[in-house]
Amino acid sequence: MFGITKSRKLSPFALIGNWQWEQVFDQTVHHMLWGMIVLAPLFWGGRGEIARLVYAILSAALVTIWLVRQWLSGRSEWNWSPVFWLPLLAVAWMVLQLIPMPSAVIEWFAPRTTELLPLWQDQAWLEQYGLTGWSTLSLDPVSGQVSMAMMLSCSLTMVVVFSRMRNETFANQIVLWIAQSGTFMAVFGLLQHLTAGGLFFWVYKYPFRVSDDYVCGSFINHNHFASFLVMSAGAIVYQLMMAVPASMKSLPVHGRHQSFTFDKATLTVVGWAASLAVTVLALIMSASRGAMLAAVAATLVLLAVYLKKRLIGVVPLVTTIIVAAVVVIGMSLQVDERFTDRLGDLTSGSIDAVDHDGARRAIWNANLQAISHGWLVGAGAGSHAMVYPAYLDRTHTKVFTHAENGYLQVATELGLPGIALLIAMGVTTVRWAIAAWKNCTTREQSALLGAVLAGIAASAVHSLTDFVWYIPATFTLLILLMAVLRYLAKGQDDHRKADTSTSRPSPDLALVAMCSIIVMGVILIRPALASSAMGAYLAASEADSWRQPLTLRDAAETGDLGKLEADESILVRKIEALRKVVSLDPSDSGAHMRLSRAYLQWFDLRAPVRENRMSLGHIQLAVADGGFTSPEQIESWLERAIGPDVAFLEAAEKHALRSLQLCPLQEMSYVCLASVAFLHDRPVEPLLAQADKLAPQDGNLLFEIGKRHMAVNNLEQAIEYWVRSCEHPGQHRFMVVASMAGNIPVNHYLTTFAPDWQTLRLVWKRYRDTADPESLAELLEYAEQRADEYDPASANVQEPYIWIWLAAMYKDVGNESHQIACLERAMDLNPTLVPVRKSYAVALLEAGKFNECESHFRWCLARDSTDRSLRQYLHKATSGKRRQEVVPSTATRVRSNRYQ
């Protein structure tokens, strides 16, 4: 369709006879770009299924209107540039990762697949479940498709912006929009943080997220919000520089007094100065340490350009820095201690202070291990969340959807080709920066160059500690800044030549663009339709997350495993939501896995209403010990034992299998299959070993594997996995306590599971009323040893509380001297903690030391006057003291031998 005319005189615009149509299409393209820069970030910064679809729709509409405008005008705005090879090759490599290949090719280019999926090399197992060997380079093809669709979206935006970037007016317009977007996001973020009460947009409760913790704007993560602000701050500075009146630009340092009038120009200066101040305040209140490092890098780049290009003098620069420092310090003093504490960690110079729990270092190390095992072809675009657990050296409660480092994630997912493309992009950027440095001779061009390089530097530095390249909002800003840098590098003469081109629009470009739009729609629409249902599931999960810790502790204290059952109403909500998700988006492997687990939970929850009341574990054990000789016999017995409820087990099997067909790295799906393997008389050991291979440091998974071994009477393997589970912190330890503590001798439990203070109090409660005195003495000796060895850095509990808990154990056995000695140890560690002082005073009161405890109760009341129990204790102390004065007590102060 693009070959109709050869000149503009024969264009459809000329035939229509209305030149305004071309202007309308130009303005529409500009409005689309403005919407992508300013409005699109309001959709969670581009994270989430609907947000991704919004960016894809905008890029599709942008390129479509741009192509139609060219067809109507008969003049092409697009010229091929070598830089377009980068997105083209990136998309091509992502496609290649998704194409099915022979097993020999997979083994040759991706030996890591064989290493991670040994079960998939077993033909007998594959035939049992109707599967074939894994045939793609990508280990998570569905996520790879989504990544490819977003790369297509960014590529289309890149083509339009790079092609239209032909004059300084358009470059200035783009930078102005970036400045407006940064200002708007900063103001929005601050207002939402201060007034929304934790809600997003004042009305929406985002699952597991709040807006009043740190300033985050419309972004799910405060770090990405801060990165967006830092990347736009250079554009704001540029607007401020250009808004300063010409007379002020040339004013000498010791010049004559200049009078000011509040005209439009002055108001513009004040407005952009206020915009910069608000952006800095929002950045500080985001408490993003990575963004602060990026801000430092951007500031250094900006100042280097401005100084070298002589846009500012040394004296004004020093004055500006001093004023800015005073302003920043002043704003910092007015914000919450949480912000200043996090920023203080950054200036401490200690990596342990910045990375408190070592989470980032752990995920970086896991990615380095993943790269070393699959450096040639990578694990597949978008596969990070599924791959990293196999290489993590210890469990973490946080799920790392990304690598917290853009460079490492590219290498992990795309392998050597991705690394090559990343290097090529870096080299290209440096070449453009050098060429732009030479070409920028005017003050306006130099100021623009400084703003652009500052934003690019901020993105490059922040990507060292976060995944800002994987956020559409921040990546779009990077594309725009790169387009401006390319314009400055090519020089105006080259752009004038391109602008006078009379070449016809390319039909090949139109064909590629339309195919890309179709591919994006096919891939992104289904997840977007299912996002509402997934949101309902996450909301139910959040409600369950508040209940679960209490039920776990209750089960651990009592040993009643029935307390671990899911809440029926919440579980029903989960199942209904997940059913809707998989019906709208059948390719969601995670939803299939969760639905499989939910069906198994629902089966156990229905046990009380079944005639025989057998749980899943009981049924597994009955089948294992039942002496059945064929699957038919098992099926017949199940029909009699559980009746129609066998459908829940079959549904769990179906969805677990579907999950593995979509992504073989769903380790929990293997556990679900093992849970129902008895339906067809299949072994569970290979399934559980495969799950262990994929996440060997996941404490919760290890507990579930041990639980399945226990269900088939593999006691030794169950204990082995539960011991490994207890080596990692987490709530799964409570389940080990509920299952084992109180059921085996004390010395056996201590030597086998080596409990620490996360579970020791629960272990004590399980044995306190049933164990003999010798066993309790052994447990107390062990607890005291763990208290002496306690490292506060390894947990979130201050050491004095450990000694309070130990004192409570001694109180349970009536050992008053050791109880007081433990509380004295707590007092030695930190006497300023009210709970410590109160516990010590209560122990003295119960020991009849009224004179000593009175002062401690008064001290506590002075710091917590709302505690009514303190007043009651103080009354008892003063009454007892008066009685002792009348009848002097012969009691002497009791101390433990350790303190004599």
What confidence tier does 887 reach under pLDDT thresholds 50, 70, 90?
low
Rounded distance between C-alpha atoms, residue 511 and residue 646, angstroms: 52
Residue 45: the pLDDT is 93
Please give the residue range of the domain that contains residue 182.
24-80+90-126+137-245+266-333+357-497
Number of separate domains in the chain: 1
Instruction: Judge whether 273 lies within some domain.
Output: yes
What confidence tier does 611 reach under pLDDT thresholds 50, 70, 90?
confident
Instruction: Judge whether 740 lies within some domain.
Output: no
pLDDT digits (tens, 9 = 90+) for 430-473: 999 999 999 998 989 999 999 999 999 999 999 999 999 999 99
Query: Is the Cβ–Cβ distance between 702 and 733 less than 8 Å?
Result: no
Give the mean pLDDT of 641-665: 94
Residue 891: the pLDDT is 46
Closest-CA residue to 836 (of 806, 814, 875, 810): 806
Instruction: Judge whether 200 lies within some domain.
Output: yes
DSSP 3-state of 744: strand
Residue 424: the pLDDT is 97
Instruction: Judge whether 38 lies within some domain.
Output: yes
Planar angle of CA 408, 58, 227, nearest 5 degrees:
40
Residue 880 reports pLDDT greater than 60: yes
Instruction: Judge whether 9 lies within some domain.
Output: no
Residue 259 reports pLDDT greater than 90: no
Instruction: Judge whether 105 lies within some domain.
Output: yes
What confidence tier does 261 reach under pLDDT thresholds 50, 70, 90?
low
Closest-CA residue to 64 (of 515, 499, 526, 525): 515
What confidence tier does 42 reach under pLDDT thresholds 50, 70, 90?
very high
Rounded distance between C-alpha atoms, residue 711 and residue 819, angstroms: 42
Q: What percentage of residues in the chain have a pLDDT greater than 70?
A: 85
Closest-CA residue to 785 (of 760, 820, 808): 760
What confidence tier does 528 reach under pLDDT thresholds 50, 70, 90?
very high
Q: What is the 3-state secondary structure (H, E, C) of 269-298?
A: HHHHHHHHHHHHHHHHHHCCHHHHHHHHHH
Return the higher-pLDDT residue of 494 and 828: 828
Residue 269: the pLDDT is 86
Instruction: Judge whether 878 lies within some domain.
Output: no
Closest-CA residue to 239 (of 283, 188, 273): 273
Return the higher-pLDDT residue of 178 and 12: 178
Residue 497: the pLDDT is 55
Residue 570: the pLDDT is 87
Lowest mean pLDDT across 14-28, 568-582, 777-791: 14-28
What confidence tier does 20 reach under pLDDT thresholds 50, 70, 90?
low
Residue 345: the pLDDT is 58
Q: What is the CA radius of gyration of the chain?
A: 33
Lowest mean pLDDT across 184-193, 333-342, 351-360, 603-612: 333-342
- In the chain, what are the helix, strand and coil shares in percent, each to the nearest 5? 75, 0, 25
DSSP 3-state of 417: helix
Question: Does the predicted model carry a pTM greater than 0.85?
Answer: yes
Average pLDDT of every residue of the chain: 86
Residue 1: the pLDDT is 33
Calculate the dihedral angle through the C-alpha atoms of 20, 25, 29, 31, rounding to the nearest 10 degrees.
60
Residue 561 reports pLDDT greater than 80: no
Helix residue ranges, H only, 309-383: 314-334, 337-347, 351-354, 359-374
Residue 551: the pLDDT is 57
Residue 329: the pLDDT is 60
Task: Say if residue 250 is exposed, middle or buried (CB neighbours under 10 Å; 0-12, 13-18, 19+).
Answer: exposed
Residue 546: the pLDDT is 60
pLDDT digits (tens, 9 = 90+) for 802-831: 999 999 999 999 999 999 999 999 999 999
How far is CA 353 from each of CA 292, 794, 802, rounded to the nearest angstrom? Answer: 15, 13, 23
Which letter does DSSP use for residue 363 in this model?
H
Residue 864: the pLDDT is 87
pLDDT digits (tens, 9 = 90+) for 120-171: 999 999 999 999 889 999 999 999 999 999 999 999 999 999 999 988 899 9
Residue 728: the pLDDT is 86
Residue 582: the pLDDT is 97
Residue 342: the pLDDT is 58
Instruction: Judge whether 658 lies within some domain.
Output: no
pLDDT digits (tens, 9 = 90+) for 307-340: 898 887 655 666 566 556 655 665 555 455 555 5
Closest-CA residue to 813 (of 787, 848, 783): 783
Residue 638 reports pLDDT greater than 60: yes
Residue 158: the pLDDT is 96
Closest-CA residue to 739 (of 606, 493, 560): 560
Residue 631: the pLDDT is 82
Residue 383 reports pLDDT greater than 50: yes
Residue 565: the pLDDT is 53
Closest-CA residue to 29 (of 161, 150, 153, 155): 161
Rounded distance between C-alpha atoms, residue 272 and residue 175, angstroms: 13
Query: Is the Cβ–Cβ distance between 97 and 144 less than 8 Å?
Result: yes
Residue 256: the pLDDT is 44
Lowest mean pLDDT across 138-142, 154-158, 298-302, 731-735: 731-735
Residue 5 reports pLDDT greater than 60: no
